[in-house]
Chains A and B, each alone.
Chain A
């Protein structure tokens, strides 16, 4: 009787503890997504050091399908890396069309080419001591392209002899039966850009906690190791005559002075102003989507509640760039990582 009671209490205790899964050992990381810089900017460099971040997912290039040339890389990033403390994970973004239009033979070639080009850039741009143990593929695959994508991932693994990870959007995370489980060593769950930015005027398309919760709740443990990616950027969408024109990633503080708030996420321009190539006129509307500290905290809480993390898990922030980082202090960045362990 006593034993039963004890076991009952134990199981209750265990179950209640299952409400929040903290990560014992958070591996801190950033995504680096710019294509034009030769080396890290000042603030970015300082954030890496002050947060003791030792992993960097760097987008090396993107891949698209071309009628004449087949599958080709573009938006190449040639950043020099001399810091040997940081582990670099070369990341390649591949457009879904590649997997819709290629044969297996072409995918063999693609895997070989991607492996070749990553290694070429590594040897040309990185200090010899820089560690590269993993490649990450980023593709928003669909049901139609699933087989080809998974074939490609397997091929890449065998050619490169590296750990292969891929990005996982929330949709394939939740609907894994129809979307499949990619044949990789691990996945990074992308907890941002959950909504089409142009189709959800009332919601923050970068990170809406309610939307996040819809994907996370009621789902069993994912059969692969999960790392997490969270956003720390913001943007302003410019609408002129109710038509979307452009996205502005910087100069937000400057623009705010010329706007008045009309709704939760919406502002109306009160002064004509030029920002970069945009001539913004009185009456234009701007949807300002930010990721605040509170939003992140809520998202982290949700994640801890719904995901069974491994003891060592990577938390990656998107993305490492001086402009968005101006809005966060080093402490705030630090606290994002530490929140996972509380």
Chain B
């Protein structure tokens, strides 16, 4: 019971970042083989997971018949339903056990004149009060011995002696052991256990062994008991799991095993407790007990482990999910090189596991699926596809594993293509359509395409993963290999942010070209393109922004012009110069600065959008660069204002960015230096200075160009005046032009 609290606490620990979300543990783990599809559901809860316990449906939810109910069913020769058994055993109080009771099990037992069973059930119910630890109310010890328990233990043993039925005998002894356990009578537990024969053990034997294990002081013996209970008693797996000391050498534990099956259980359980490579134990388990379900379970754990070690970093650039979460640590240096080294090593280990499976050559479909996946992990694509091919003939379409091998097939078909020639083949398309909700799968295909140079289809697939219309929230998160430092914001969660930072304008153009509805679009194309098509304006906006970053104003304008009017309103309504409120984005970027009083009185008024901004910038620069223009200084000046307001401190930073924060990290968009420092603005202020004749205006140009040294040198008095008055002097200085 107490372990349950520990388990809950540890499970809760994975959600402990109350101040915000950072992907961690199970959020980022990559996995393709689904343990639910294999024949080891009774091990649910223990499959590989970043959490302390795998988030699993309980055995009762799985509609599995509990071992105790099964035993009673067999005791009643199958003549009583499980429901009747459950009611009689767990719900009906002992006072109601009589011939008139309507419960079918009770009626059956009376009909059979099986008073022994009736008396057993009544006695068992009277023991329920002692079926738990009582903490010492006087706080002297952790638990306290209840006086009546000793008497109850004696009674149970007395009944065991008198009863003729062997199963009931064993049940009485189990009750005695359990009573003694909760009563703190550890020596009695051992003594009673030693009177039990474990020749043909059933669940009751293992329930007894469960308590026997807990009270054992010798750790190697305890480990032995624990592994046997875990292997055999499905309903005791949780309670017994933690009674195992990993420090005890396995050979010491094996000394207690008498049969091959017992030894196999020792190895198999030891394998579940390992976070690192378990192949050696897995080999032994297979060797000693080849057909056991326990083997499939530990094999699957191992493969999920390898998937995490290889695919989590390979696809997401996060460390494997069971690594610690140190996002607090801003000094953490991210290095894909280091990750890559480990990935390669772990692929080699996957190969070792594959070789082993090839060697044992068991005719088992589940193992074949594992081999197919391991082949993919080791990048033996054709080999993997061969296995998949043969499995397709063996598995029925309804088999849950059939879909798993389709996924493996699709991954292989995609990954084995040549660089710059990779496509989403027709076969892969149909698998993608069937597995639309499998975000990890979609993501993996996208990344494989991206690594092979098909950044367009990759982006389209990314757009299908975190589609908020799905209602699934963050489907995938990932980092780029260009990340340098760690931070709580160092990951991508949607295609747009990724394309924004990492795609060139050309790559984005390719996406835009594809993002159109064509007459001959297949079902797959339609599905693939939905989001991009509907967000096309956003793509054009992004393209224009990328050109702005490159200072390619004409190209930028061309892109911006393709954006739907509605989009400007929806996303940039702050730009409406008629809007009121304290929002600083309602200023005209050529004629006003943030936190600065108005200083340019004669200004053009126009509805500011990215289109008009770019148009006007081009216009002003053209005028400024025209040697015949009389007011070149003026035009350079306001163009410079336009560039200045595009920097991080400006009122129109959204010309260059979709968000801005002091925590922004590498990789940055290509214009980061300009965005931080405003070099272009300074260049144009200097040109304004050069072409101006008005003294004060010239001083203002140098001031805004932050050329303080020069200003102090050429106009010292203006320097001091501006130092004193700063933006309050701008109006005076600007108007001195006239």
On A, residues with C-beta under 8 Å from B are 68-70, 72-74, 113, 116-117, 120
Answer yes or no: B607 CB below 8 A from chain A CBs.
no
Point out the residue from A69, A74, A113, A116 that lies within 8 Å of B134, measured CB to CB. Answer: A69
Taking CB atoms, residues of chain A closer than 8 Å to B148 are 68
0/1 per residue, B143-159, Cβ < 8 Å to A?
01011100000000000
Answer yes or no: B571 CB below 8 A from chain A CBs.
no
Minimum CB–CB distance from B130 to chain A (whole Å) comes to 9
Q: Is the Cβ of B138 less than 8 Å from the Cβ of A113?
A: yes
For chain B residues 116-145, which have a beta carbon within 8 Å of chain A?
129, 134, 137-140, 144
Q: Is the Cβ of B139 less than 8 Å from the Cβ of A120?
A: yes
**How far is B139's CA from A117's CA once the two chains are assembled, in angstroms?**
7
What are 21 A-B contacts with C-beta separation under 8 Å? Answer: A68-B129, A68-B134, A68-B146, A68-B147, A68-B148, A69-B134, A69-B137, A69-B144, A69-B146, A70-B147, A72-B137, A72-B138, A73-B137, A73-B138, A74-B137, A113-B138, A113-B140, A116-B138, A116-B140, A117-B139, A120-B139
**How far is B140's CA from A191's CA once the two chains are assembled, in angstroms?**
36
For chain B residues 68-90, which have a beta carbon within 8 Å of chain A?
none
Minimum CB–CB distance from A160 to chain B (whole Å) comes to 15
Given A70-B147, A116-B138, A116-B140, 13 more A-B residue pairs with CB atoms under 8 Å apart are: A68-B129, A68-B134, A68-B146, A68-B147, A68-B148, A69-B134, A72-B137, A72-B138, A73-B138, A113-B138, A113-B140, A117-B139, A120-B139
Q: Is the Cβ of A117 less than 8 Å from the Cβ of B146?
A: no
Minimum CB–CB distance from B567 to chain A (whole Å) comes to 57
Taking CB atoms, residues of chain A closer than 8 Å to B137 are 69, 72-74
Minimum CB–CB distance from B143 to chain A (whole Å) comes to 12
Taking CB atoms, residues of chain B closer than 8 Å to A113 are 138, 140
**How far is B129's CA from A74's CA once the two chains are assembled, in angstroms?**
20
**How far is B136's CA from A116's CA once the two chains are assembled, in angstroms?**
13
Q: Chain A's interface: helix, strand, loop or mixed, by majority? A: mixed
**How far is B147's CA from A188's CA once the two chains are assembled, in angstroms?**
36
**How far is B129's CA from A117's CA once the two chains are assembled, in angstroms?**
26
**How far is B137's CA from A116's CA once the two chains are assembled, in angstroms?**
12
**How far is B138's CA from A151's CA once the two chains are assembled, in angstroms?**
21
**How far is B144's CA from A73's CA once the two chains are assembled, in angstroms?**
14
Minimum CB–CB distance from B632 to chain A (whole Å) comes to 76
In the complex, which residue of chain A has the Cβ closest to the Cβ of B140?
Answer: A116
Taking CB atoms, residues of chain A closer than 8 Å to B140 are 113, 116
**How far is B138's CA from A231's CA once the two chains are assembled, in angstroms?**
31
In the complex, which residue of chain B has the Cβ closest to the Cβ of A61?
Answer: B137
In the complex, which residue of chain A has the Cβ closest to the Cβ of B130?
Answer: A68
**How far is B147's CA from A72's CA once the two chains are assembled, in angstroms?**
14
Minimum CB–CB distance from B463 to chain A (whole Å) comes to 56
Q: State how many residues of chain B have any CB contact under 8 Å with chain A.
A: 10
In the complex, which residue of chain A has the Cβ closest to the Cβ of B144?
Answer: A69
Q: Chain B's interface: helix, strand, loop or mixed, by majority? A: loop
**How far is B144's CA from A72's CA once the two chains are assembled, in angstroms?**
12
Taking CB atoms, residues of chain B closer than 8 Å to A69 are 134, 137, 144, 146
**How far is B146's CA from A70's CA once the two chains are assembled, in angstroms?**
9
**How far is B138's CA from A72's CA once the two chains are assembled, in angstroms?**
7
Minimum CB–CB distance from B180 to chain A (whole Å) comes to 17
Among B129, B134, B137, max chain A CB count under 10 A is at B137
Minimum CB–CB distance from B46 to chain A (whole Å) comes to 36
For chain B residues 675-705, which have a beta carbon within 8 Å of chain A?
none
**How far is B144's CA from A116's CA once the two chains are assembled, in angstroms?**
16
Taking CB atoms, residues of chain B closer than 8 Å to A73 are 137-138
In the complex, which residue of chain A has the Cβ closest to the Cβ of B129?
Answer: A68
In the complex, which residue of chain A has the Cβ closest to the Cβ of B146?
Answer: A68
0/1 per residue, B559-590, Cβ < 8 Å to A?
00000000000000000000000000000000
Complex A-B, nearest 10 residue pairs according to Cβ-Cβ distance, in ascending order: A72-B137, A113-B138, A73-B137, A117-B138, A68-B146, A120-B139, A116-B140, A117-B139, A73-B138, A116-B138
Among A69, A72, A74, A120, max chain B CB count under 10 A is at A69
0/1 per residue, B526-551, Cβ < 8 Å to A?
00000000000000000000000000
**How far is B139's CA from A120's CA once the two chains are assembled, in angstroms?**
9
**How far is B138's CA from A207's CA once the two chains are assembled, in angstroms?**
35
**How far is B136's CA from A73's CA once the two chains are assembled, in angstroms?**
10
**How far is B129's CA from A73's CA once the two chains are assembled, in angstroms?**
20
**How far is B140's CA from A73's CA once the two chains are assembled, in angstroms?**
12
Taking CB atoms, residues of chain B closer than 8 Å to A116 are 138, 140
Minimum CB–CB distance from B145 to chain A (whole Å) comes to 10
In the complex, which residue of chain A has the Cβ closest to the Cβ of B145?
Answer: A69
Among B134, B138, B146, B147, max chain A CB count under 10 A is at B138
**How far is B148's CA from A116's CA once the two chains are assembled, in angstroms?**
24
**How far is B139's CA from A73's CA once the two chains are assembled, in angstroms?**
10
**How far is B144's CA from A2's CA once the two chains are assembled, in angstroms?**
78
Taking CB atoms, residues of chain B closer than 8 Å to A70 are 147
Taking CB atoms, residues of chain B closer than 8 Å to A68 are 129, 134, 146-148
Taking CB atoms, residues of chain A closer than 8 Å to B144 are 69
Minimum CB–CB distance from B150 to chain A (whole Å) comes to 13
Minimum CB–CB distance from A171 to chain B (whole Å) comes to 31
Minimum CB–CB distance from A61 to chain B (whole Å) comes to 9
In the complex, which residue of chain B has the Cβ closest to the Cβ of A109?
Answer: B138
Minimum CB–CB distance from B127 to chain A (whole Å) comes to 13
**How far is B148's CA from A73's CA once the two chains are assembled, in angstroms?**
19
Minimum CB–CB distance from A90 to chain B (whole Å) comes to 15
**How far is B148's CA from A70's CA once the two chains are assembled, in angstroms?**
11
**How far is B134's CA from A73's CA once the two chains are assembled, in angstroms?**
14
Taking CB atoms, residues of chain B closer than 8 Å to A120 are 139
0/1 per residue, B196-231, Cβ < 8 Å to A?
000000000000000000000000000000000000
Taking CB atoms, residues of chain B closer than 8 Å to A74 are 137
0/1 per residue, B51-71, Cβ < 8 Å to A?
000000000000000000000
Minimum CB–CB distance from A157 to chain B (whole Å) comes to 19
Taking CB atoms, residues of chain A closer than 8 Å to B138 are 72-73, 113, 116-117
Taking CB atoms, residues of chain B closer than 8 Å to A117 are 138-139
**How far is B134's CA from A116's CA once the two chains are assembled, in angstroms?**
19
For chain B residues 174-204, which have a beta carbon within 8 Å of chain A?
none
In the complex, which residue of chain B has the Cβ closest to the Cβ of A70?
Answer: B147
Minimum CB–CB distance from B184 to chain A (whole Å) comes to 13
Minimum CB–CB distance from B138 to chain A (whole Å) comes to 5
**How far is B141's CA from A113's CA once the two chains are assembled, in angstroms?**
12
In the complex, which residue of chain B has the Cβ closest to the Cβ of A120?
Answer: B139
Taking CB atoms, residues of chain A closer than 8 Å to B146 are 68-69
**How far is B147's CA from A74's CA once the two chains are assembled, in angstroms?**
20
**How far is B146's CA from A211's CA once the two chains are assembled, in angstroms?**
46
Minimum CB–CB distance from B501 to chain A (whole Å) comes to 53
**How far is B135's CA from A74's CA once the two chains are assembled, in angstroms?**
13
In the complex, which residue of chain A has the Cβ closest to the Cβ of B138?
Answer: A113
Minimum CB–CB distance from A299 to chain B (whole Å) comes to 38
**How far is B137's CA from A47's CA once the two chains are assembled, in angstroms?**
34
In the complex, which residue of chain B has the Cβ closest to the Cβ of A72?
Answer: B137
**How far is B731's CA from A247's CA once the two chains are assembled, in angstroms?**
78
Minimum CB–CB distance from A91 to chain B (whole Å) comes to 17
**How far is B145's CA from A68's CA once the two chains are assembled, in angstroms?**
10
Among A68, A116, A120, max chain B CB count under 10 A is at A68
Taking CB atoms, residues of chain A closer than 8 Å to B147 are 68, 70
**How far is B129's CA from A69's CA once the two chains are assembled, in angstroms?**
12
**How far is B380's CA from A188's CA once the two chains are assembled, in angstroms?**
90
0/1 per residue, B221-255, Cβ < 8 Å to A?
00000000000000000000000000000000000
In the complex, which residue of chain B has the Cβ closest to the Cβ of A73?
Answer: B137
**How far is B146's CA from A116's CA once the two chains are assembled, in angstroms?**
20
Taking CB atoms, residues of chain B closer than 8 Å to A72 are 137-138
**How far is B140's CA from A117's CA once the two chains are assembled, in angstroms?**
8
In the complex, which residue of chain B has the Cβ closest to the Cβ of A121?
Answer: B139
In the complex, which residue of chain A has the Cβ closest to the Cβ of B149?
Answer: A68
**How far is B145's CA from A70's CA once the two chains are assembled, in angstroms?**
11
Minimum CB–CB distance from A312 to chain B (whole Å) comes to 35
**How far is B141's CA from A120's CA once the two chains are assembled, in angstroms?**
12
In the complex, which residue of chain A has the Cβ closest to the Cβ of B147?
Answer: A70
Minimum CB–CB distance from B151 to chain A (whole Å) comes to 12
Minimum CB–CB distance from A100 to chain B (whole Å) comes to 18
Taking CB atoms, residues of chain A closer than 8 Å to B139 are 117, 120
